[in-house]
Structures are given as structure tokens and as C-alpha cells.
A and B are shown apart, each in its own frame.
Chain A
């Protein structure tokens, strides 16, 4: 299993490098999983390549999530988990984002399924996706303050500030 996964890592990395030498910053292997670190500017183009290239065919974006590594910088690590259904392979694309400027291209034009995944990351981490058709909170109320999954947000929340949500208040008064 480990052998085939590192083979796959070579296929993906070579294919991307032959397309654009700048596209692959680093290839990480851990526990049989392949991670390709991509520069922020090239994320959408690389993702499109992964999806459309006949040798890669990563047609399913199964998951996207963020890790907050504060106080380290760059602070945010975005992980996109791709699956190729015809090739039966997985790969992870990773982008590092600066804490002061957490903005990245949206992948909705490549995989429409990225829509809610990115909205969730926006909601809980406060990362903005340019080109997203409808970037607003999804799990929390629209007027929630802060982004709870950031590491500097307390686990208990801010209890002394009760927040029932502006939405609720608006609809209860005529």
C-alpha cells in the first residue's frame, strides 16, 4: 500500500511539474498519504489540472478543511482531499495562508461541491475565498462574532456575551 501510494505521489508530482515547475513546492509522505504543497497563487490552476488532466483525473473533491497553527506563521493550512474514482487514488493539496491576509481562490469553478466546504471554512476560520458565488456563514448565525475554530477562540466561547442571533430577533418583531 505504501509503495503504490509513493508511486502515485511521483505520478502526481511529475505531471504537475511538467505542466508548471512552480506548481509543486513540496511533496510530503506520511503514513502512506501524499500531500502536495501548492503556492497560493497557483491553487486554482493546479486544482483544475488535477481534475481535468487525463493522467490524474481527480474528479471528486471529497473534503476541504483548515488547520490553525497559530502562533506559527504562515498560520493557516488548507487541505483539499481529492479522489480519482477511475484511478482509485487519493491525494491531498495543501496551501499555506498568512494570518494577516487569509485569502485564497475559490475552487467552486473547478468542483461545484467545494461550495459548502468553503463556506464552512469561512464560517469557522474566517478564511475568504475569492470567486465564491455565495460566501456567507453556514453553520453559525449571520451575526456571530469571531470564528470559533480558530485556536485563539476559547472552547467555552464568550459566555458573558449571550448571543441568540440577530436573525432570531429580527423575525420575532414585526
Chain B
């Protein structure tokens, strides 16, 4: 029998459609069908100036908008050869790690609700709300933040940000413990996840998988450690790995990652000074300060030029990767020396990891399909772009 699962199915986390060929309850063959959310973001980027395209990046992986902003801005900065002030780099790290926790919370909540644990979902979204409030404080937005800009940040941190983040850091460790008491030794949870969705480390690398799914197979590949960006080399943290490579191991890896992120946020808070620049000094690329525009002729001209025609980086191509909550998020930009990019391409980890889904579920029971879709943590906005 061929069963059509999705695209409108709550456990497919968006609009993923899978054609399942079944023998009784066993999956013989699985064919994912994508593209229901394809919005042509890469094409749209080609028609915008470099700074205009930032708002489009938010909308790909909507659980990780800050990470998307970051990878795009890092790529443009690399293309320009721009150095970002340390203070801005640390704030970026802090924001991206907060985002990682919030993304893992959504993953944990939805994964658990798929497998029948309603309470975890409510708890996870309670804490996620706190993170979104911090984002709102910093950026004025809960989700589509566009906070990270080329050469730095959009705004200085607001008054009272330290207390807000501090409050969150104080509360969060005990909340992670709380999720663990609900799930880690829960017999139903173990029954639904242990030994389900196994993939060997060799297969995972061959299929280009990255992120927690790869680390749960025992490969300690994390861009923050291997190819550090935004001053990650100055932070002390561990890369949690497991070797069982099943849904349960991936759960443990992600929970451990939340704790590591808390460590990084704590260190970042110590490194962020109260005063200092949040944008690079690059006339003609970074918009000048409002004050200067009112007193200096050049500043006004630059402001006008940046917003009418943009800036033109050198000819060339760059490829930058960061570690998103889902894996290696890459951004490729080809410049032809004009104010608009010739080509922008995003390597979405959801898209590439989803490729391994048939490998995870073929030969398994249909109920495990739900666990396997959940465990690779896809965001369809990023899969289809």
C-alpha cells in the first residue's frame, strides 16, 4: 500500500509530504516530496542590494533568524574584508546561543508532543517565551529580528539587558533539569526513541549530515570548534557527542547542547563591555550615525549613496559556514563587483539532513516515522527556501 503522509500533517513540522510504501505497518520505501514552501529567496536576493537581503534571511529558518542573519553578514563581511568590533562579536555570540536554546526548546516540545508527551511542550514554550522577550527587548521583534547587520549590529543593547539575561540564566538550568526528569528515564519516551532511527557514522558523513544528528553518531564536528567564527575560539565549551546514533542519543545531545549554550552566554556576558562600538568603521558601507549626518557633509553623502545604490564589494566568491541549531548553515555569495550579488546560495542543514530520512525509516514501523522526522529537526522554511 502507498500512503500519502502530509503535506498537511501536524507531525511533519510544516508542509513536508512523504510517500510511504508500506507492507503492513513496515515502511518499505519512503520518498520525500518537497517544495511546498519554495519562495525563491535566493532569486530575490539577486535583485536586492547586499544590505536589503538581510530581511529575507530571517524568513528561511524561522526558528533561527539570528543565525541566518549572522551567516549572511559574515559572508558579506568576508567578501568586503571587514573587521567587526569585538563587542559586537560577543553580542552576536550571546544572541545566537540564546537562539540555539530557543530552537532546541521548540524541537523538544514538538518532538515530545508528536510522541505523546503534552506536558513537555507546554514547559518548553514557557521558557521559549522568556527568550523571545529578551529578543524583543534587544531588537523590537520576537522572531524576524534582522538584528545582525553587515559590519555589526542594528542597535546598542537596551538598558536593563543584563538583568533580563541574568534572570534567564538563573532560571534555565533548573528548567532543563525539569525536562530531563520528565523524559530521560521515562519508560514510554525510551521505548519510543531508543534504537529508533539508527544511522551509522559513515553513512551520516556520506549523506552530508551535520549538527546534532551527526554528533549523536560519534563525529564531533561542530563549526564553532572546527572553523571558529565571531570569536568562538575565545569561549570554553564542550561539544556533546554520543555513539548510539538513535533518536534517544540525539535527544541527549541536544539537551546537553542547551547546557553548553548557557555556559557560552554566561561567558559572553562577562566579555561584553558596557561601552564600545557595535559597528565597524567603514564609510560607504556602514550607514553613518545620525548625529554625524547632521554635522558632516561626507556622512550625509555616504548615507545617501548607501541607501540609493548600495556598495560594491570586490569580484570573487566566498563560502562561510556557521553552526546553526540544526547543523552546518552555509552561505555562498558570488560578487560581480556590482551593488547587487550575482548569486546568493544558502546551504540549509534541514534540507541536507532530510535527505537521510529514507535511510532512517526504511524497514521501520510507521509509528517510528514520526519519531524520525522529529529527530532530524527540520524547518521547512529552510528546506524549501
Contact = CB atoms under 8 A, between A and B. Distances in A.
Contact of A140 (B35, B205, B336, B345): B35
A125 to B, nearest CB: 10
Contact of A85 (B205, B318, B319): B205
Q: Looking at chain B, what size class is its interface with the partner chain?
A: 35 or more
B1 interface: no
B332 A81 contact: yes
Contacts of B336: 69
A63 B35 contact: no
Interface string A39-83: 000000000000000000001111101111100000001010100
A159 interface: no
A56 to B, nearest CB: 15
B347 interface: yes
Which of A79, A124, A139, A141 has the most CB atoms of chain B within a 10 A radius of its CB? A139
Contacts of B208: 60-62, 111, 113-114, 117
A62 B219 contact: no
Measured as residues with beta carbon below 8 angstroms from the partner, the interface class of chain A is: 35 or more
A138 B34 contact: yes
B307 interface: no
A88 B47 CA distance: 35
Interface in B328-385: 328, 330, 332, 334, 336, 342-343, 345, 347, 351-352, 354-355, 384-385
B43 A138 contact: no
Interface stretch (A8-16, A18-26, A27-35, A98-106): A27-35
Contacts of B47: 155
A155 B43 contact: yes
B49 interface: no
Contact of B330 (A31, A62, A120, A140): A62
Secondary structure type dominating chain A contacts: mixed
A132 to B, nearest CB: 14
A49 B279 CA distance: 44
B273 to A, nearest CB: 25
Interface string A130-169: 0000000111110000001101010100000000000000
Contact of B38 (A66, A69, A115, A140): A140
Contacts of A81: 319, 330, 332, 347
A62 B44 contact: no
B293 to A, nearest CB: 31
Given A31-B78, A35-B317, A113-B355, A68 B206 contact: no
A151 B78 CA distance: 24
Contacts of A111: 206, 208
Contacts of A128: none
A92 to B, nearest CB: 7
Contact of A62 (B210, B334, B342, B385): B210
Contacts of B318: 30-31, 33
A155 B46 contact: yes
Contacts of B44: 155
A153 B81 CA distance: 31
Given A116-B352, A140-B35, A33 B319 contact: yes
Contacts of A116: 351-352, 354-355
Nearest to B206: A112
A139 B35 contact: yes
Nearest to A65: B345
A63 B355 CA distance: 13
B207 A112 contact: yes
Interface string B294-322: 00000000000000000000001111010
A66 B336 CA distance: 14
B359 to A, nearest CB: 9
Which residue, B34, B42, B206, B210, has most C-beta atoms of chain A within 10 A?
B206
B226 interface: yes
A31 B347 contact: no
A112 B328 CA distance: 17
B205 A62 contact: no
Given A31-B316, A31-B318, A116-B355, A149 B347 contact: no
21 contacts: A30-B316, A30-B318, A33-B319, A60-B205, A62-B328, A63-B345, A77-B334, A79-B332, A81-B347, A85-B205, A88-B226, A111-B208, A113-B207, A113-B208, A113-B352, A116-B351, A124-B42, A138-B35, A140-B38, A149-B42, A151-B46
Interface of A: 30-31, 33, 35, 59-63, 65-69, 77, 79, 81, 85, 88, 90, 92, 111-117, 120, 124, 137-141, 148-149, 151, 153, 155
Given A33-B317, A62-B347, 17 more contacts: A31-B318, A33-B318, A60-B208, A62-B328, A63-B319, A63-B332, A63-B347, A68-B343, A69-B336, A85-B221, A88-B226, A111-B206, A117-B352, A138-B35, A139-B385, A141-B35, A155-B44
**Shortest 7 CB-CB contacts between residues of A and residues of B:** A113-B208, A63-B347, A139-B35, A65-B345, A30-B316, A139-B38, A113-B207
